[in-house]
Amino acid sequence: MSVRVVRTVAELRAALAPHRAAGIGFVPTMGALHEGHLSLLRAARAENATVVLSIFVNPTQFGEAADLAAYPRTEDADVALAGEAGTDLVFAPSAAEMYPAGFATSVCVGGAITATLEGALRGRSHFDGVATVVAKLLLAVQPDRAYFGAKDAQQVVVVRRMVSDLGIPVEIVACPTSRDADGLARSSRNTRLSAEAREQAAAIPRSLRAAQDAFAGGIRDPRGLTIRVRDELAAAGLDPEYVEIVDADTLEPIADLAGPALLAVAVRVGEVRLIDNVVLAPGVDDRIALESGSA
């Protein structure tokens, strides 16, 4: 259970060298570990001889300084939880290790996949920050597989594109969104919700579930489905930043739901910005489980 923590790429590579051949699984995080991260670590544990977790609150992917400052930092607890979930090594670099003086390189993913949803709201520079830090982490760890949560669906699409385009030799594994009993997607940001806001936020998974129910009932008109989401959110007093149905691979708007589509929402609840999504795919019924009486 005593997990080794390393702070530099040099230490990381030295520690991993003897284990490289047997296979490495990697879970990149910004810390503040919750059950969602642990589910990624367990997936990595099941498929790889060595499991590496990174903890780095990446400043370049935050648009608002206040959001960065408020992001929870709980490293000691994270390391203990990671150890219980079977992590072998934690890479927790400083900002100076990741971005030393003179750092001048960024990895940018252009096109529709970064122009829409979070890219439209937070700006493309958010995904430049994500793509750059993920590329750096993948090159530092050189894992066989890297695990990401489906909650950040657009991030998964962007990372897959970047890895494919640059030819980084790693398999990107997307794991299902981990949810609380009321359906709320687990997020490190949830700890910043007041009790009242937490209750309000439960309308987010309810709204997605309402769209899933309508989809299962045969509704195929994107506008009809997004209206259901908006109605459910409005009933809880929430005004979403976006409710969009896009192609699950290209993230381009779609007129009809013939193939797999991503229904994605972003909602500000009090001072906390939350995102969530579900995939709507003909023939697939993957409805969010909600605790009884929550609707």
Q: Using CB under 8 A, list all residues that contact a copy of itself.
A: 9, 13, 102-111, 113-114, 131, 135-136, 139-140, 161-162, 165-169
In the complex, least distance from residue 132 CB atom to a copy of itself, rounded to whole angstroms: 8
In the complex, least distance from residue 128 CB atom to a copy of itself, rounded to whole angstroms: 9
In the complex, least distance from residue 126 CB atom to a copy of itself, rounded to whole angstroms: 16
| Residue 61 is labelled as binding a ligand | yes
Q: Which is nearer to a copy of itself, 70 or 108 (CB)?
A: 108
Q: Which is nearer to a copy of itself, 144 or 276 (CB)?
A: 144
| Residue 33 is labelled as binding a ligand | yes
| Residue 31 is labelled as binding a ligand | yes
Long-range contacts of 232-240 (CB under 8 A, 24+ apart): 232/203, 232/206, 232/207, 233/203, 233/204, 233/207, 233/265, 233/267, 235/203, 236/200, 236/202, 236/203, 236/206, 237/200, 238/200, 238/203, 238/204, 238/267, 238/269, 239/267, 240/265, 240/266, 240/267
| Residue 94 is labelled as binding a ligand | no
Cβ atoms 279, 261 nearer than 8 A: yes
Catalytic residues, by residue number, are: 37
Do the strands 261-269 and 242-247 form a parallel or antiparallel pair, or are they unpaired? antiparallel
Q: Which is nearer to a copy of itself, 90 or 162 (CB)?
A: 162
In the complex, least distance from residue 241 CB atom to a copy of itself, rounded to whole angstroms: 24
What is the side-by-side order of every strand in the sheet holding 242-247?
242-247, 261-269, 272-280
Q: Which is nearer to a copy of itself, 102 or 293 (CB)?
A: 102
| Residue 126 is labelled as binding a ligand | no
Q: How far apart are the first and last CA of the chain?
A: 41
Planar angle of CA 60, 65, 71, nearest 5 degrees: 85
Q: Which is nearer to a copy of itself, 157 or 185 (CB)?
A: 157
In the complex, least distance from residue 262 CB atom to a copy of itself, rounded to whole angstroms: 17
Cβ atoms 286, 267 nearer than 8 A: no
The C-alpha atoms of residue 210 and residue 276 are separated, in whole angstroms, by: 14
Measured CA to CA in angstroms, residue 42 lies from 30, 101, 172, 202, 258 at distances of 17, 36, 15, 26, 34
| Residue 186 is labelled as binding a ligand | yes
Binding residues for beta-alanine, as ranges, are: 61
Residues annotated within a binding site for (R)-pantoate: 61, 155
Residues that constitute the known binding site for ATP? 30-37, 149-152, 186-189
Q: Residues within the annotated binding site?
A: 30-37, 61, 149-152, 155, 186-189
